[in-house]
Amino acid sequence: MTELDIDFLRGWIGREQVSDDVLTEDLARKYHATFEMPGEAPHLGEIAPRMIHFCLAQLAVPTSALGPDGHSRRGGFFPPVALPRRMWAGGLITFPGDLRVGDRIERRSRIVDVALKQGRGGPLCFVTVEHRIQVDEQKKLEERQDIVYLGLDGGGGKAASPAQPGAYRRRVEGSAPLLFRYSALTFNGHRIHYDRRYVTEVEGYPGLIVHGPLQAAWLFNHAAELQGAPPSRFAFRGLSPLFDDDAIFINAEVDGEGVKLWTAREDGPVAMSAEASWG
C-alpha cells in the first residue's frame, strides 16, 4: 500500500460490525451528572437522554492495542489511513424511538464511504460510517458518522471570521475534568482530550480539545430546552477546534420550524454548526 492508496482504503467499504450493550442506571446517573441536567437522573424503565448513545457499545480493545494517539491501532473495522490526526467531522442522527434505562441495545455499524480530498494543509481522508441502534429488533436511532483523517498541518489555512452571537446564547465550561469524564463515559482513549503534553508537543494544539460529540450534545440539549422537546433529527458539522481554556458559548437561532445552532469561543470562529428539527 502506498501512503494513501485510496483504492486499497475503499476496500473497507461494506465492512460491518455488530456490538451490544446495556443502558444501565449507573451510566444514566453519570451522564446526567456530567451534563448537569436538571432534576433526577432517569431510573430503570424511564426514558434516557438522547445523545447518551455515544456512550454505548464502544469498541474495547486491550490497552496494548492502542496506537500512539490513544485510539485503537489502524486497521480492523476502520481502514488503516496513514495520516496522524483523526477527528470527528460531523454527523446526522434521527430518532425513530427512545432508549430507556435498562434496555439491552444492539448497534449495527457499516462503512459506507471512504473519500480522499485535498485541503489547504494537505490531504484529507473522510470515512463515513452508518450506525443503527435497536432494542428487541425495534429501531431506536440511525446515525451517519463522518470521520476525517489529516496531517499535522491539516488544520491550517485562512482564519475564519468571528462567529456572530445567537439570539439564544449561553456560556458553557469545557474544563479538563469535564473532558476527562466524557472520555471515560465514552471509553475514548484519544489523548488530545486529556493529555496536555501530548496534544501540545506532538499534535501542536494550544490546549486540550473539546470532543465533537460533547459539543453536539451541548447543542442538542440547548435546542431541546428552547423548544420544550428533544429534536427528532439532528445534524452537526465540526469546523474548528475548541480548547479547554477557551471561553465557550453555545448559540441558537429559531429558523421556521427548526433551530440553527453553533458553538464558538469568545471572538472566535464557529467551532461546530448544527441544525435541529422536529417532526
Q: What is the pLDDT of residues 176-234, one digit of tens each?
A: 999 999 999 999 999 999 999 999 999 999 999 999 999 999 999 999 999 999 999 99
For residues 49, 50, 53, 54, the Cα torsion angle rounded to the nearest 10 degrees is: -100
User: Half-sphere exposure (CA, 13 Å, Cβ side) for 88?
Assistant: 23
Q: How many Å apart are CA 213 and CA 77, to the nearest integer?
A: 20
* Strand-strand pairing, 122-135 and 270-277: unpaired
Q: Where in the chain is the domain with CATH 3.10.129.10?
A: 1-154, 159-279
Q: One-letter amino acid identity for 224? A: A
Positive/negative CA dihedral, 170, 176, 177, 182: positive
CATH of 159-279, one of 3.30.390.30, 3.10.129.10, 3.40.50.720, 3.30.70.100: 3.10.129.10
Q: Where are the beta strands (DSSP E) in 136-269?
A: 138-150, 168-172, 233-238, 248-255, 258-265
The pLDDT assigned to 154 comes to 58
Sheet with 233-238: strands ordered across: 16-22, 104-119, 122-135, 138-150, 85-94, 233-238, 270-277, 258-265, 248-255, 168-172
Q: What is the pLDDT of residue 121?
A: 78
What is the DSSP code (8-state) at residue 40? Answer: P
**pLDDT for residue 1:** 38
Q: The domain at 1-154 falls in which architecture?
A: Roll (3.10)
DSSP H helices in the chain: 6-9, 25-34, 176-185, 196-201, 212-227
Q: What is the pLDDT of residues 98-119, one digit of tens each?
A: 999 999 999 999 999 999 998 8
Q: Is the pTM of this model over 0.75?
A: yes
Which residues of the chain are modeled with pLDDT < 70? 1-3, 154-159
Phi, psi (degrees; rounded to nearest 5) at 104? -95, 115
